[in-house]
Amino acid sequence: MPPSFIFTEKYGSLSATGVAKETIFGTPVAATTTIPTASNTMVSDPGLFYPDLMQAIRDKQVYPLQGEEKDAGAITAPLFPSNGMTMLVGSVGADVVTGAGPYTHTVTPGTTLPSFTVEKNIGNFQSLQFAGSRVSKLQIKGAMGNKEAEMTADIVSQSVSILTTPSAIVVANESPFVAAEFALSYGGYSIGQATNFQLDIENGLKETYTFNGTHQLQFLTPASLKVSGSFDVVFDVLNNNVVTGFTYTTTGTNTNPVLTSVTSTVGITAGMGISGANIPAGAIIIGVTSNTITMNVNATAAGTLQTGTASNVFDYFYQASAITKGALSFSMTHPANGGSITFNMPSVNLAKTDQKIAPGAVVMETISFEAFYDLSTGTPKTIQMVVVNGVSGAY
């Protein structure tokens, strides 16, 4: 006998995640864009519980009650120049748009966060509509390998409802970012030997339930901001080494990376940073002879008898121990004005380092970092995000 009921199965591949910014917290709005996602684990927990009582029976579960409803989950998706950017921007703060095609979105933290309606489209059949949604934690991952850049947004929502007809799917025709498009720098020096990067933005959401006549939360407050992360590099050096007082000559303007007539190159090796007159910030030494130094960039002007300084710049163990401060930047850039995302942290301390040693493997180093609100600067901020894409309106 066939089953007494027949229904059509729903496909995961036909599912989707929609999102739209709310005007009023908790008032749902129809999804305006779709985030191509790898997973969406948002669920509703009605808060079922039973009082723990004594009444001459052993059964613990007698009186079913509903307490605080929890509507939450995580969305994991590739990083695109515009797809999903509403959620990404909403994890940081307010967006200011400048420029004219492509447009620059400068996003800085504030005292509050925007709210969204997130639509969990199930098999393009029905949807769960989560209103009053905010990003509790955003994690950005970028690594070498056959893997796109990725974000995971942990979401907390105020309420959920059913949509019998899902919103239309609206996806921009663009590609996710990949490792060949990544750039990482710390202290003004490019870290070309990096293999992995992770950024965590934690908004410290505080859920407050009140006597509001429902089982849903009343307030969802971003009570704090913490920005931290880590990156992996091919290990270079432990100690700090500074060589000062040598002189050199530069020739040409933006045409020659070689410093000549160097008085002494004792203690100077390839891989060190170098600074001095007519030398661009962030210059790295790539070659040394008895009286010449070759940099990875051209000198900015011609000049004789300039005084220089060379130092280890990838001495992360020393920098973490000394609690030095540096600016950290991680960017992803498509070619030919295809869009970009840059995370700038003006003041960062290296928290600790871990040198990973194994037989038959290159020695790697994992560096943990923490960004901070630096009161010594004129305009302190923990993080700033700059997005360049074809979207003219603010997120």
Q: What is the pLDDT of residues 267-302, one digit of tens each?
A: 999 999 999 999 999 999 999 999 999 999 999 999
The tokens for 378 are 């004129």
pTM: 0.93
Q: Which pLDDT band, with edges at 50, 70 and 90, does 32 fall under?
A: very high
Are the C-beta atoms of 177 and 341 separated by less than 8 Å?
A: yes
Across the beta sheet with 273-276, the strand order is 242-250, 303-311, 273-276
Tens digits of per-residue pLDDT, 104-121? 999 999 899 999 999 999
What separation, in Å, do the N-terminal and C-terminal C-alpha atoms of the chain show? 56
Quick one: pLDDT at residue 7? 80
| Residue 71 pLDDT greater than 70, yes or no | yes
| Residue 1 pLDDT greater than 80, yes or no | no
Quick one: pLDDT at residue 356? 95
Q: Kindly report whether the peptide bond that precedes residue 51 is cis, defined as omega within 30 degrees of 0.
A: no
| Beta carbons within 8 Å of 133's beta carbon, 6+ residues apart | 115, 116, 117, 118, 155, 156, 157, 158
Mean per-residue pLDDT of the chain:
95
Q: What angle do CA 182, 367, 151 make, to 5 degrees?
A: 45
Other Cβ atoms less than 10 A from the Cβ of 14: the count is: 13
| Residue 3 pLDDT greater than 80, yes or no | no
List alpha helices for 252-332, DSSP H.
Answer: 316-321
Q: b/e per residue, 123-152, with b = 16+ CB within 10 A?
A: beeebbbbbbbbbbbbbbbbbeeeebbbbb
* DSSP H helix total and E strand total for the chain: 2, 29
| Residue 312 pLDDT greater than 70, yes or no | yes
Which position has the token pair 């002494």? 264
The tokens for 296 are 């990875």
| Residue 62 pLDDT greater than 80, yes or no | yes
Report how far residue 321's alpha carbon sits from residue 109's, in angstroms, rounded to the nearest whole number. 29
Quick one: pLDDT at residue 192? 93
Tens digits of per-residue pLDDT, 332-371? 999 999 999 999 999 999 999 999 999 999 999 999 999 9
* Segment 151-167 mean pLDDT: 97
Reference 42, options 107, 110, 131, 112; nearest CA is 131
Report how far residue 300's alpha carbon sits from residue 336's, in angstroms, rounded to the nearest whole number. 27
Quick one: pLDDT at residue 9? 87
Other Cβ atoms less than 10 A from the Cβ of 387: the count is: 23
Quick one: pLDDT at residue 344? 98
Are the C-beta atoms of 253 and 273 separated by less than 8 Å?
A: no
Report how far residue 50's alpha carbon sits from residue 394's, in angstroms, rounded to the nearest whole number. 47
Are the C-beta atoms of 73 and 43 separated by less than 8 Å?
A: yes
Reference 246, options 214, 205, 277; nearest CA is 277
